[in-house]
Amino acid sequence: MKKAVLLILLLIACASAIYAQYDEKQILTQQANQLLMQRQYVQAEQLFLRILDKYPNDTNSINQLMNIYFTLSQTDKAEATLTKYQRTLPPQTYSELLIQLLIMQAKVEEAWQETMRYLNIYGQDEYKYRRLASFFERKAFYDKVIELYTRARNQLGKPDLFRLEMANTAMNYHQFEKAIREFMAYTENNPVYMFYTNNQLKTILQEDATLISVVSAIADSSNSSVLKEIYANALLNLQDYKTALNIYKQLEPQKMWRFAEEQTAAGNDSIAFEAYSYLETGETDMVKKMDLRYRLAEIKYQQRDYPATEQIIMESLSLPFWKDRNLYYRSSVGVKLRKLMAEIKLAKNEPVDSALVWLNEAKKFSRNNLESQEMDLEIARLYILNGDKTKAQNLLKTINHNNLMEKRDYLNFLNTLLEGETALADTLMNEFIIRYPESQYANDAIYLMMFTLNMAEQDKKSFYSAIRLLQLNRQSGIDTLAVIFSHNQDEEVLLLAIEWAIAFGNDSKAKELLQYDFQDEVAADYAALLRLLMVSDKAEEQRLAREFLKNKPNSIFSPDFRQKISRWSASRPNL
């Protein structure tokens, strides 16, 4: 009995000793790993050495030490450690560490020979090829990486293996043609990588635009819509919009829709017009067809080709489509076409009444209360600009849709201000800002009140007249603002005149006004920005931007200059 008890106690003591050792090792390892995560490599090294002093067969500590030495490029320490623990490490681990060490020592051929020996044993596992390739890639030995991926394909009989890895490596190695072929082959089977491939090809073509012939040859030799779309996107990067359009004609209609919308957003109106025209010709759904006709009309309107816009609208309105209420009620195109016609009437300097006729027509085709009241707001706006205060007030009182209260209240303010009721307008403006602090109209309301409060009584009526004229697309409002400026020398008024001249596309008038030597520093900087927006030559634009930033790096407009601002958009100020 006593012998049994002694045996049990002995076993417990041994187990406790083993556990204590294990517990100590685990604690030290955790501490070392924590130091590694904090990039405290020297302290981590000391802990791993301490572990190996007590536990010389701990392969994890050996591996971590080697990683530290590789990270710090301490190849002498790495070599000494690897030699010391060669017999402790498994052959596979030793070989991988040796390859990394030789690469770090720039002994590429020796590393390659060891790589071949390694693959003779473990070469049936594709992961091994990726792992070895990563060793060579870290030190930019891209030729060896490509050779490894090629060997993997041949050895494993998988010609599509490592397509994306091969493409990126070839790109880094400046083997651009190979990169193009690999990217396109990979994306053909993995279309979700289309965006990534487009960006990579964009970079390649920036280096060598002649390689578009390679992209073209690959796309032309295949029936794949994916490859053709890649080609079309590559053409867009080279601004070859016409050829891109012809490629999109070979793709599904939804891709052409997207292309047309992208070109519209980019301001490539002529290409967008051709794309929408192509879609409209082949469209059989009458609702979609009418929407396309509206888009065509809208482009012509933006190009200020008012006769062409009017022709498209009138042809559209003459179609049997409008006889079927159930058909045209599926879309808001009935409202949009007629509203656009009202805008054309104003753009052609026709009387406001002619535009009101079309807005009232548009209202008849509204499908719900929201669309109907949206038209009422447009009608009320024209009443305000035409000086019909009472009609505007009465119509604005009928607006009760929650989505339209903000615009209704802004128009109430505008109606009051343009009638010269400054005190009441100021109250309405303050109420508006409190109620709608993030409104798109907030800045306009403040801006208008600033002008009014700082303006002599004799100029206020002229200012209100100028705002009405400009909102009605009458360029004579620019001259009115210029006259006001000649009276009060308020440079803000002159800047407003310049903004409207640019918005109307009247570059000669804008340049004439910009010849003025602005005295206020902020106004002068903004005038410089407006001059930049009017420069069509990109080299000159960059020169002016650099010159401005050199002289005024801390201007509030400096970020705009740094962004290489594009040409002034077609949108007009809301004032």
Phi/psi of residue 469, each to 5°? -60, -45
Q: Determine the pLDDT at residue 540.
A: 78
The reply to whether 397 falls in a domain is no
The reply to whether 538 falls in a domain is yes
Q: Determine the pLDDT at residue 19.
A: 47
CA angle 354, 408, 374 (to 5 degrees): 50
Give the integer Cα–Cα distance in Å for 248 and 261: 13
Averaged in consecutive runs of 10 residues, what is the pLDDT profile of the chain (575 residues)?
Answer: 50 47 77 85 86 88 88 90 90 93 94 95 92 94 96 94 96 96 96 96 95 97 95 96 96 95 93 97 94 96 95 95 89 96 94 96 95 97 95 96 96 94 94 94 91 86 93 92 91 92 91 92 89 80 79 76 46 42
Closest CA to 60 of 108, 37, 19, 28: 28
The reply to whether 510 falls in a domain is no
The reply to whether 567 falls in a domain is yes
Q: Determine the pLDDT at residue 572.
A: 39
Does residue 140 sit in helix, strand or coil?
A: coil
Closest CA to 108 of 84, 76, 132, 130: 132
The reply to whether 560 falls in a domain is yes
Structural domains of the chain, count: 1
The reply to whether 568 falls in a domain is yes
Give the integer Cα–Cα distance in Å for 87 and 84: 8
The reply to whether 396 falls in a domain is no
- Domain housing 539: 529-574
The reply to whether 451 falls in a domain is no
Q: Determine the pLDDT at residue 41.
A: 86
Full DSSP string of 121-137: HHTT-HHHHHHHHHHHH
Closest CA to 296 of 319, 314, 323: 314
Phi/psi of residue 12, each to 5°? -65, -40
